[in-house]
Amino acid sequence: MKLPTLSAEEVAFARSLAIYEDEHVLVLNKPAGLSSQGGRIAAHTLDDLLFAFAKKSGVRPRLVHRLDRETSGVILTARSQPAAAFLGRAMMARRIGKTYLAIVTPGAPRPKNGVIEAALRREMRGREAYMKVCPDDHPDAHAAATRYRTLRADAAAALVELSPRTGRMHQLRVHLAAIGRPLAGDVRYGGALVLAGVAVPRLMLHAVALTFPNPGGGETRVEAAMPTDMAVLADAIEG
């Protein structure tokens, strides 16, 4: 496999994303528009940019999980294979807590706080993968649960906090759409593209916090402030 060659600007950009690091982990604040890994866009991914943190041996941090391309926020990497294995086991055991902020429309979910429990299945439409709510006994069903809490709301939109109990593809997006409150900017699942007369620039979903058992001991919590484009829309919600 050919290793990516990073420019000085890309190295500086990658390093600017670091928000926490120790000898075991590196935590980054991924901007919207940057793919975590793979994809069909001919541009460096976050996974490629991790070579900016490579050791002299060439070993780079490894992604522990992913965020959708248009989702911003906290993403965890491991600096070594033992740390990656430790965190992988923690992920499987659901010991890594993820908290997201999202803007949904129209208005607050009903009830304002609760848990969405709806199984999901994957469906291909051409080259695009979608997730759909399905009966629990569907042969392709995967159990999924999302806790949500309304932080602020008016008639047009709401800022909600989301805590997924499971980690299915597009889970938060599909679950909120299933209760009639799709994420603003979510073209794939019916989200509004204009909010209070202002164009929604992207999917309004931000991974605001991550809590995880640290391979070095104890528990670590890392937070990333909401990006400006999302904060502007959130501040316009009057509730």
In a domain, 91, yes or no: yes
pLDDT at residue 201, as a whole number? 93
Rg (CA), the chain: 18
pLDDT at residue 40, as a whole number? 59
pLDDT at residue 39, as a whole number? 60
Q: Which residues are catalytic?
A: 68
In a domain, 161, yes or no: yes
Please give the model's pTM, rounded to 2 decimal places.
0.94
In a domain, 170, yes or no: yes
In a domain, 142, yes or no: yes
| Residue 13 lies in domain | 8-235
In a domain, 2, yes or no: no
pLDDT at residue 127, as a whole number? 85
pLDDT at residue 1, as a whole number? 52
Q: Which pLDDT tens digits describe the chain residue by residue (239 residues)?
A: 566 789 999 999 999 999 999 999 999 999 999 999 876 555 789 999 999 999 888 889 999 999 999 999 999 999 999 999 999 999 999 999 999 999 999 999 999 999 999 999 999 988 888 999 999 999 999 999 999 999 999 999 999 999 999 999 999 999 999 999 999 999 999 999 999 888 999 999 999 999 999 999 999 999 999 999 999 999 999 87
Looking at the structure of the chain, the number of domains it has is: 1
DSSP-derived 3-state class of residue 48: helix
In 3D, which of 178, 109, 190, 96 has the Cα closest to residue 144?
178
In a domain, 74, yes or no: yes
Instruction: Give the CATH number for residue 139.
Output: 3.30.2350.10
Bond preceding residue 106 cis, omega within 30 of 0: yes
In angstroms, the first-to-last Cα distance of the chain is 52
In a domain, 3, yes or no: no
Written as one string, the DSSP assignment of 12-51 is: HHHHHTEEEE-SSEEEEEEPTT--SS--SSSS--HHHHGG
In a domain, 177, yes or no: yes
